[in-house]
Every structure is written in C-alpha cells, then in structure tokens.
Amino acid sequence: MKRSMKLFERLLDTDLKADILTLFHNDPNMSNTADELARKIGRNTVDVQRELDDLSELGILKKVEVYSFGLDRDREIQDAISKQLALGEIVENTQLSMTGTGLPRVRTGLEVLDRVLPDGLSAIGTILLLSDPGAGEESLIAHFVSRQVQAGKPVVYITLDNFPANIRQIVQSQMTNENGLSSLIFVDCYSKTVGVESDESHVEDPENLSAISIAISDIMSKKTISLIVLDSFNTLIRRRGVRSAIEFLRVMVARARQAKCLSLVTMNRKAFHPAMVASGQDVVDGVIELKIEESSDGIARSLRILKMIGTRHLTTWTPYDISDEGRFVLTKRIAGTQDG
C-alpha cells in the first residue's frame, strides 16, 4: 500500500516547485504570470505552469490573471507542519533503529545543553542545528569539535561557507592544547568557489555531491571518526536544490550510523520556507534550535530541543549567553537561581 504523502513532501516533490516556493517566500507580495516566473528562475514555462497549478490547488498560490502568494493559506500550512513536528507524527523507518535504551550517551560539557538533555546526548546519530545568524552556532560547533580533537579523536569537517584556516582558529580558541588540531580533517568545499588554492588533502567542488561522499568514505576507511560536521546545509540547498540536498543529508545520516559517531549539520532556521526546514528535520535523529531576539535588556539568546530520538529532552526555550571566550553559558539570572 502506498503511504500517504506528507504535506511538506508534496510541497517539495520537485526542485522546480521548491524554487517557486522560495521565490514567493522571499517576496510574498509578488504577482507574476507563469512566463514571468519562468524567466525569473530560468526554467521552462510549461514546467513552471504545471507546478503553479499544483500549488494553486493547495491554495498557497492564488490564480487570477497572475499568481500571487496566498499568505493566509501559507500560514495555515506552516502551522500544520509545525504541529506535525511537535506531535511527533513524522517518524521514518530509518529512524526506528536509533530508538531504545542501548544507545551510548554523553554529557555535552555545556550546562545549558545538559539542562535540556537530562539523560545526556546520544553519541551516535545526526543532529540538525537550526540557528538564527548571531545565535552562536559557530561557538557551539567549535565546542563539540575541540572536545573531540583534544582527546585525539578524528573529526571530519565538511565546510561550504568558510575557509578551513578560519575554522581552525575558532576551534583553537576553545582548546587548551593546540596539538589536537592535527585530528581535525577538512573536506574543503569552499576554496574552489572563491578561486583560492587550498592546502587541504581533500578539496571538492560543492556541486559534486558524489565526490564529497567519496572523500568522506576515504577518510572513514583510514580513521575511526568520532564526529562529522556539515556546515552548512543552506549552501547545499542553494547549489544543488532541495531534493539533492535532502538525499545527501540521508547519506550523512547513514555515514554517522556506519561510523557509530555523532554528526552535526547546520541550517539557518529562517532562510527557507518551513516546508524545507521540516524536510531536513524529518531525516535527522535530533534537532537543536537556537534563536536570537531583541529584548529590553539587549540581545537575548535561547535554545530548545525540538527532537532527540533515544533520549529524554526538554522542548522549552532555555536562555543562554556567549562568553568573551566564545563559550555557551547559562544566563546569569538562570545560573543565579540555580545556585541559590
């Protein structure tokens, strides 16, 4: 029996539909004909018309003589997707093997994370870090990477948005022993995009997902990997489209389970339509969400665990700060309450 299609799967069943949805999401007041939309995204009008008709059937697009974004219906669909995720309705068979009590768990070494993960973090699995810009995603990754490399455990870091040298510097700022940096192995997918020669052993074109996958396999065949980082999923989506990016994310999930290690994948939580974010959440074993907001006291940061298979977790927002050294710490108010 064919399983029913999830709402976000219908929204993203083709890369063309994802492109159209992104176009309207970025400019919700836009109204265009099918021809004009096809020119904007460089696609065939007939193909665009077919996808527009499907989105119109869902009510996301309103068709008069031009197509415009149905904001009310889009909000309804976003709410429906959020409720599905909150109720745990999205569970794939590929995730069921991660459940149970036999999974090894570790303390993260960060009080704010250990507070929302009372049983510890599963040491095996793929976690999506959904973050606002400035929420401290880089510091969080540097914390996890530095803990592993200082213990002499190899880490594979797939970088699409930054130079390896810059990342080494961020990681080093959280280390007490610089010798461990030799355990940090990069798959450099950034240098080629800016036309810079790389000194890394593994340099790949971000458009060539097969080559990136082969590079990861090559490293794993020679070393016992403790952590894999993909930074960032946003760039993968923009370069290869949603469907190819999701398939690569599935490969990442499989790689982490094969290596029996932890994998971290970064994603801007507001850069795409919620359907695209939900498609990423659907694949992984855990989701940590970081947000940053303006408050009367200035900048306020908080995090929550949206999903974590195999361990108890709290979904309430927990405030945190980032120290001058770039470390995650509980806000003084929360820490003071706990000490009292």
Residue scoring higher pLDDT (45 or 92): 45
Inform me whether the pLDDT recorded for 166 exceeds 50.
yes
Distances (CA, A) of 120 to 45, 90, 91, 161, 188: 52, 23, 22, 30, 31
Contacts of 106 (CB under 8 A, 6+ apart): 120, 121, 123
314-318, long-range: CB within 8 Å, 24+ apart, which pairs? 314/115, 314/116, 314/117, 314/118, 315/86, 316/116, 317/291, 318/112, 318/115, 318/116
Q: 293, 300 in Cβ contact below 8 A?
A: yes
What would the two tokens of residue 59 be? Answer: 């009510």
8 A C-beta contact, residue 200 and residue 166: no
Give the pLDDT score at 191: 94
User: How confident is the model over 139-167, as a mean pLDDT?
Assistant: 93
Task: Please state which architecture CATH assigns to domain 7-82.
Answer: Orthogonal Bundle (1.10)
Interval 248-258: pLDDT, tens: 999 999 989 98
Q: Which pLDDT belongs to residue 73? A: 82
CATH architecture of 100-339: 3-Layer(aba) Sandwich (3.40)
Tell me if domain 7-82 and domain 100-339 are identical in fold: no
pLDDT at 340: 39
Largest alpha-carbon pair distance within the chain?
67
CB contact at 8 A, 48 and 41: yes
Of 54-58, 62-66, 127-131, 306-310, highest mean pLDDT: 127-131
Q: What is the pLDDT of residue 2?
A: 42
Q: Residue 238 belongs to what H/E stretch?
A: helix 233-240
**Radius of gyration of the chain, Cα coordinates, nearest whole angstrom:** 21
Using one digit for the tens of pLDDT, what is the confidence trace for 58-113? 888 887 656 777 888 887 877 777 666 654 433 333 333 344 445 678 888 888 89
Per DSSP, which regions of 210-317 are E strands? 227-231, 262-268, 286-295, 298-308
Separation CA 150–CA 180 (nearest Å): 5
**CA–CA dist 219, 216 (Å, integer):** 5
Per the CB < 8 A criterion, the answer to whether 76 and 85 are in contact is no
| pLDDT classification of 333: cutoffs 50, 70, 90 | low
Under 8 Å between Cβ of 127 and 286: yes
Residue with the larger pLDDT of the pair 77 and 209: 209
Domain coordinates in residue numbering, the chain: 7-82, 100-339
